[in-house]
Amino acid sequence: MAAYNPFETAQRQIDKCADILKLDPGTRAILRVPKRELHVAFPVRMDDGSMKLFQGFRVQYNDARGPAKGGIRFHPDETIDTVRALAAWMTWKCALLDLPLGGGKGGVICDVKSLSASELERVSRAYIQNVYQMIGPETDVPAPDVYTTPQIMAWMMDEYSKIMGKSQFGVITGKPLCIGGSRGRGDATARGGMYAIREAAKVLGIDLGKATVAIQGYGNAGNFAARLSKELFGCKVVAVSDSKGGVYSKGGLDPEAVFRCKEDTCSVVNLPGAKQITNDELLALNVDILIPAALENVITEKNAGKVKAKILAELANGPTTPEADDILYKNGVHVIPDFLCNAGGVTVSYFEMVQNAMMYCWEEKEVYERLEARMVSAYSSVLSTSQQYKINMRQAAYVRAVERVVEAMKLRGWV
């Protein structure tokens, strides 16, 4: 069986959208491939004195609407096709939220858990030394992603500033607050998803105060999703999982207790008083809201028919395959697609860029209000497009986003 290729999935999604919009062959060709990409290999001195070679990537998919924007992932299984796919999804995400940005993504093949703090810093700085000519506040602005943190962003910003000979806070987002970060950035991805879930619940007539939630993946987004679903709406989080398995409690789980368990034991499966379940079992639970918040390709044609949730809110990137989409749509599962549901992160990253350019920091309340307005508008636009074309929510999100990118390409004379 061939290995899953996320970029092929991204291209197939684009092809479907191009068919709906009846795009010409030249426009289709531009939308299917990255505008530019950089592959780098760089040596890093390890703590034991040895040298180790690391490989990294930076992809700028489409910058018709503005500077490229997208995170940097540190992952042992990172591939160029994963980075390409994520850069494509960032392009559509920024367009869907009507941000004046294009899409980009970066990555380094490395296992963060095997690196010391000093080794991690050297890898972070070396990556910037090798891609600095491709990035910048007006060309391409990276951000944190899988296994990268505000501290790593601080090192990267500092390294770029050293090379430029002046402080360049605007080159990176997701930074600590005291060096140009934005209030509200930490939980932005999950909070944006909560606003989208609230809008979907209104449409479906779901009382969120009585709703049950299952969360697959308990990293940053999953943790905040658990906390916020309870804090904002009074939802009952009945199941959570990570790479080692999951836990379930019909009476509900305490998100804070789950977080402490994850911190202390490196997995949620050790939570006292909860029933252990597998990730596959979690995806099939009879809950109102299912939130995949880990990596891609977890809901496929093999398990999509088992999904019983009324709302599938994709905080992860690419968790659902095209074949699974068709099954979910047929079964009446309301999917909030990834590049709508998890767009809160890039939206507040954009706010961070604006604040850096202004040399002024907004209050948290203002950040949340602006984020809510963007998410509500985007959800409404996707829902109306879905109803207009009689297509599923993901296809509708693509239609709205691609229409905006194509409009910019036409006005700039690219097509």
Q: Are 169 and 178 in contact (CB under 8 A)?
A: no
Asked if residues 65 and 414 have their Cβ atoms less than 8 Å apart, the reply is no
Just list the catalytic residues: 105
Helices 255-265, 220-233: crossing angle, 10 deg rounding? 160
The secondary structure of the chain, three-state, reads CCCCCHHHHHHHHHHHHHHHHCCCHHHHHHHCCCCEEEEEEEEEECCCCCEEEEEEEEEEEECCCCCEEEEEEEECCCCHHHHHHHHHHHHHHHHHCCCCCEEEEEEEECCHHHCCHHHHHHHHHHHHHHHCCCCECCCEEEEECCCCCHHHHHHHHHHHHHHHCCCCHHHCCCCCHHHCCCCCCCCHHHHHHHHHHHHHHHHHCCCHHHCEEEEECCCHHHHHHHHHHHHHHCCEEEEEEECCEEEECCCCCCHHHHHHHHHHHCCHHHCCCCEEECHHHHHCCCCCEEEECCCCCCECCCCHHHCCCCEEECCCCCCECHHHHHHHHHCCCEEECHHHHCCHHHHHHHHHHHHHHHCCCCCHHHHHHHHHHHHHHHHHHHHHHHHHHCCCHHHHHHHHHHHHHHHHHHHCCCC
φ/ψ region of 165 (left if φ > 0, alpha if ψ in -120 to 50, else beta) reads: left
> Beta strand 212-216 with 236-242: parallel, antiparallel or unpaired?
parallel
